[in-house]
Structure 1
Amino acid sequence: MFLVCVSGFLLGMLVPFCEGFSPSTVANINQAALDYVAERGRSSFQNALKMQLPDLPDPNQGGLQRIPVFMFDNSIPQFTLKFIPNYGIRLSAAGHVNMKVFLKKNLLKLQVGVNISADVVISQATIGSLLVDVSLCKSTTEEISVTYKEDELKELWNPLREYVRVILPDKLCSKLHFMVEELNVYMGTMTGIYPLGPESQISYSLTHPPTITEEHMSLNVSTTFYLLGKPIVLPPRVSSFSLPHQVGSKNAMVNFVLPKELFDSIYFLMQKSGSINLDITGQLNSENNQLTTLVLGNLIPEVHRQFPKSMPIMMKARISSVPTSTILGDEVSLKLPYYLEVLVVSSNSAFKSLFSLDVIVELKLRMFVSGVKLQASISFLKDIELKVNASNMGVFDLEKVKPLITSTFKNPLLEHLNALFGLGAMLPNIAKLNYITPEVFVHEGYIVVSCGLHFQS
């Protein structure tokens, strides 16, 4: 399973391709990631080498009898992975394997030094995922030493040395090829769609084969958004974003570069799904309920005249146009334009519109990563702006009404948005993968997430 670790986390950036405009996202995988994967993969590789080898013909029986041979408790202390520019990854491993040879009445234990070198080519599959294959594998055996013997069998030594020289390198490379084939099956199962909100989803696909240098691997991925399981068409955008030469932390295993266009698309999806709309009603049994015609009638006489008996009020907030975001310096902000309608609820559950307002809400977003999700906490950047859109209550003094509207609108809105943004957007990932020690860097026009990797056992 060590190759799952090698390339598995790359898979998270790869999911089914979908036509149409999609914002670009970049993921840089550094040498630190390969070092971590090599450390994790070393024990997996050792365990994978525990296997039964083909039986050794017994020279005393003219080859008619077979001698069972097993490998066990292998030790591969040297295990490294390095990028091959414009190609893939080079695996180098060295150590020894321990072999048991079961004679008729005796047991022989051997220790065989091994060196393995393999070139793993990384390309793009037709479905938009990574494709990994071993293009070259070379394995050699070194010194053979006896660690335990129950009898002196000199006539076995020459056949045994030849057996090890011929059989073992082929078995080691065959095991490596098999593990890569397993990996591609595993990678294929990870393509899919991730939830983004109550009714929306997000997916990623590789747009080009990976760019590989001696220092890192760079993946260009496109993003597709879904509403109720169907891809949505994003409004056309002209991107001015260009990837800087150095992004994020040099010591991080992975640096995700998330441009402003990605966040604008997420906010557009939120608008289309209605997830940032809000209905607000007062607690009718509460003595402090401010959303009644009695309270509002003290500020707008016409409300009291039409509704002398106190009745509940509802506020319906609907996004009136596409939200706009700003990523500048160390600040991420979001402007939400709302159409806010104030209605009275009659006894027969019918609604009568009292008046409507155009509302501008400007928010500050603090981005952070939890698990595999990019999340945000929301606070108000400035006071909300109100403007009368229409009124069935005649002309009224908005300044008198503003404190009531503001006090009853801001807290529910903030709670709603924090809950929504707290759901987070899934970063490209695979099963059993978490991003650890994340750092979020805000630059003009884009955000960088730098993090380490942790694979759960």
Structure 2
Amino acid sequence: MGMLVQKGAGTATLRTLSILLSLLVPAPATRSPDCGGILTPSGLSYFAEVSKPHAERVLRQDLMAPAAPETFLGSPKPSRNQINSVSVAELSLSLVPHAGLRLSIDADLSISPTPSTTTVTRLSILADLHVEMNPEGNLELVTSACRPTLEGSQSIEEIASKSSDSDLDKEINIDKICLEVSKLLLLPNERLISLSAQFPITPSCQLQYLPLAVPMFSEQGITISLQTIFQVAGMAIPLPVSPMPFSMPEPASSSPSHLILAFSEHFYASLFFALEMSGTFNMTLLSPLTTATLAEHIPQDVAAGLLLSVTDTRMMVTAAGAEDVELSLAASNVGPVPAALLEQLFLPTIREEVPAQLNAVLSEGVFLPHIFSFTYTNFNVTIHRDYVLVSCNLKFQEQPGGTPHPPVLAGAGATGVGSPITTQEHCFPLGTGQVPVTSS
């Protein structure tokens, strides 16, 4: 009858060996995107809106505390002009195609030249910003130009150069304002760094989204291309080369969504390849035969209908059912086995167990590219021929204490408040693997 195979032992050895051999193969030198995103003008306006209270807090802290270090005021000495309050009347961000962003801030300063007198002065800040990539590969928001003004069209430089009895005009530190103008937004550089954080898929498999270049600025929004790196046991694995280069599709000019994410079919193929390499899909099917081991390995090619939905910042992947299962006998110690008998014995089990295993593995979902303190709402998932589009709105969630940190894996049951979930079905190949089959 031949040699019996200990349940799971041979497959575990082969799987471990295949992982070790794959890790020894150097990753391809070429870098190509497999996903990306577009922050639309609506999304940029929302970011400016939620930055307004933060800018007001920073200006109050700096302008109303002249004796504290690191302030906008040039002299720590008490001034005759006491700033009583700071109110940001307007904060806006606009796109400058092929260049970057333009930041505009109007703040009203309530000033008391004397204890019995109060006047209001308008501080306006106009700055041009662009994005650079530092040597570590992280994106940074950098100030290209900055022009602060007080009351009308005169710049602070022009006011300070003239004789004036106003201590405020002379004490505003224009260099300090322009040097730290980006901090008036919601910590953009810390949030850009969090985009490249590692996110868990399973305990042994992680993914990381890496920007390949600085974003492109156009009238349609800010477009960024990303490459996904998958890690198994803490080491990056080489992925199959995409047969076709992926580029972000052009968004609809009238899209009301804040953000549009796009994922190529190669992204999903790489995801399942990484999970397969980590041994996540390994399973043992028990044969109803009790006389001997029927077969050592039965290769499958399995196509499953996947239901895609979004919860918070995670894409939920659910297998609707295994289809087009092909069984062939790789080895047998009981002689030839008719294909009809294989299907009769194992096909119902495989059709039931493969989707169940997939759903168990991906029960926590797959993290989408995102920055900390922002979650996604009003989702819409659209399946195209070669890619998946996720359009959504942003929702700012301020962290206690305001300390920036990358997001951590949350429970799968959490969901954004008032966030409708749109589900789409699509068939993706789950890859080719070997399912060990032993007798009961």
Q: TM-score, normalised by structure 1?
A: 0.68
Q: 2:240 aligns with which of 201, 215, 235?
A: 235
Q: Distance in 2 between matches of 1:228 and 1:172?
A: 46
Q: Distance in 1 between matches of 2:397 and 2:186?
A: 22
Q: Note closer, same or farther for the CA distance 1:182–1:33 as it changes in structure 2 (3 Å cut).
A: closer
**As a proportion of its length, which structure holds more strand?**
1
Contact 2:100-2:128 within 8 A present in 1 as well: yes
Query: Do residues 126 (structure 1) and 135 (structure 2) align?
Result: yes
Q: What aligned pairs does 1:420-439 form with structure 2 within 5 A after superposition? A: 420-439=361-380
What's the counterpart of residue 53 of structure 2? 43
Contact 1:87-1:121 within 8 A present in 2 as well: yes
Instruction: Kindly provide the CA deviation profile for residues 393-423 of structure 1, in whole angstroms up to 9, marking residues without a partner as x.
Output: 3345553563442333332322111122333
AA in 2 matched with 1:92: S
Shift of 1:229: 0.9
Q: What is the root-mean-square deviation of aligned Cα atoms in Å?
A: 3.2
State the SS of the aligned residue for 1:236.
coil
Contact 2:129-2:145 within 8 A present in 1 as well: yes
Q: What aligned pairs does 1:70-85 form with structure 2 within 5 A after superposition? A: 70-85=82-97
Q: Distance in 2 between matches of 1:136 and 1:173?
A: 8
Query: Do residues 141 (structure 1) and 150 (structure 2) align?
Result: yes
Higher mean C-alpha displacement, 420-429 vs 380-389: 380-389
Contact 1:82-1:214 within 8 A present in 2 as well: no
AA in 1 matched with 2:150: T
Shift of 1:124: 1.8
What's the counterpart of residue 388 of structure 1? 329
Q: Note closer, same or farther for the CA distance 1:32–1:190 as it changes in structure 2 (3 Å cut).
A: closer
| Identical counterparts, % of pairs | 22
State the 4+ residue runs in structure 1 displaced beyond 6 angstroms: none
Q: Distance in 1 between matches of 2:36 and 2:223?
A: 7
Query: Do residues 165 (structure 1) and 169 (structure 2) align?
Result: yes
Higher mean C-alpha displacement, 443-452 vs 22-31: 22-31
Q: 2:214 aligns with which of 202, 209, 212?
A: 209
AA in 2 matched with 1:361: V
Q: Note closer, same or farther for the CA distance 1:225–1:212 as it changes in structure 2 (3 Å cut).
A: same
Q: Distance in 2 between matches of 1:112 and 1:72?
A: 11
Q: 2:199 aligns with which of 176, 182, 194?
A: 194
Q: 1:31 aligns with which of 25, 41, 44?
A: 41
Q: 2:269 aligns with which of 260, 264, 267?
A: 264
Contact 1:21-1:234 within 8 A present in 2 as well: no
Q: Note closer, same or farther for the CA distance 1:240–1:92 as it changes in structure 2 (3 Å cut).
A: closer
Instruction: Kindly provide the CA deviation profile for residues 6-64 of structure 1, in whole angstroms up to 9, marking residues without a partner as x.
Output: xxxxxxxxxxxx97345512211111111101111111111111133547xxxxxxxxx
Contact 2:281-2:358 within 8 A present in 1 as well: yes
State the SS of the aligned residue for 2:256.
coil
Shift of 1:435: 1.3
Query: Do residues 279 (structure 1) and 305 (structure 2) align?
Result: no
Q: What aligned pairs does 1:171-182 form with structure 2 within 5 A after superposition? A: 172-173=177-178, 175-176=180-181, 179=184
Contact 1:141-1:169 within 8 A present in 2 as well: no
Specify every segment of 5 or more residues in structure 1 that has no aligned partner in the other structure, as ranges. 1-17, 56-64, 144-157, 282-290, 298-302, 307-342, 344-352
Query: Do residues 363 (structure 1) and 372 (structure 2) align?
Result: no
State the SS of the aligned residue for 1:278.
coil
What's the counterpart of residue 104 of structure 2? 92
What's the counterpart of residue 411 of structure 1? 352
Instruction: Kindly provide the CA deviation profile for residues 108-156 of structure 1, in whole angstroms up to 9, marking residues without a partner as x.
Output: 433212222111122222222211122222222228xxxxxxxxxxxxx
What's the counterpart of residue 373 of structure 1? 314
Contact 2:81-2:168 within 8 A present in 1 as well: no
Q: Distance in 1 between matches of 2:182 and 2:388?
A: 39
- How many residues are paired up? 350
Shift of 1:161: 5.8
State the SS of the aligned residue for 1:226.
strand
Q: Distance in 2 between matches of 1:30 and 1:118?
A: 20
Contact 2:220-2:253 within 8 A present in 1 as well: no
Instruction: Kindly provide the CA deviation profile for residues 424-449 of structure 1, in whole angstroms up to 9, marking residues without a partner as x.
Output: 32211222221111111111111111
Higher mean C-alpha displacement, 84-93 vs 404-413: 404-413
Contact 2:95-2:221 within 8 A present in 1 as well: yes
Q: What aligned pairs does 1:247-396 form with structure 2 within 5 A after superposition? A: 250-280=255-285, 292=288, 296=289, 303=291, 343=293, 354=295, 356-380=297-321, 382=323, 384-396=325-337
Q: Distance in 1 between matches of 2:188 and 2:337?
A: 69
Q: Distance in 2 between matches of 1:438 and 1:355?
A: 45
Q: Note closer, same or farther for the CA distance 1:454–1:19 as it changes in structure 2 (3 Å cut).
A: farther
AA in 1 matched with 2:55: F
Shift of 1:172: 4.6
Q: Distance in 2 between matches of 1:387 and 1:70?
A: 85
What's the counterpart of residue 150 of structure 1? none
Higher Rg:
1
Contact 2:299-2:327 within 8 A present in 1 as well: yes
For CA contacts below 8 A with separation 6 or more, give which structure has more relative contact order: 2
Q: Note closer, same or farther for the CA distance 1:119–1:385 as it changes in structure 2 (3 Å cut).
A: same
Contact 2:195-2:209 within 8 A present in 1 as well: no
Instruction: Kindly provide the CA deviation profile for residues 352-407 of structure 1, in whole angstroms up to 9, marking residues without a partner as x.
Output: x5564343322111211111112211122535333333332334555356344233
Q: TM-score, normalised by structure 2?
A: 0.70
AA in 2 matched with 1:228: A
Shift of 1:83: 1.0
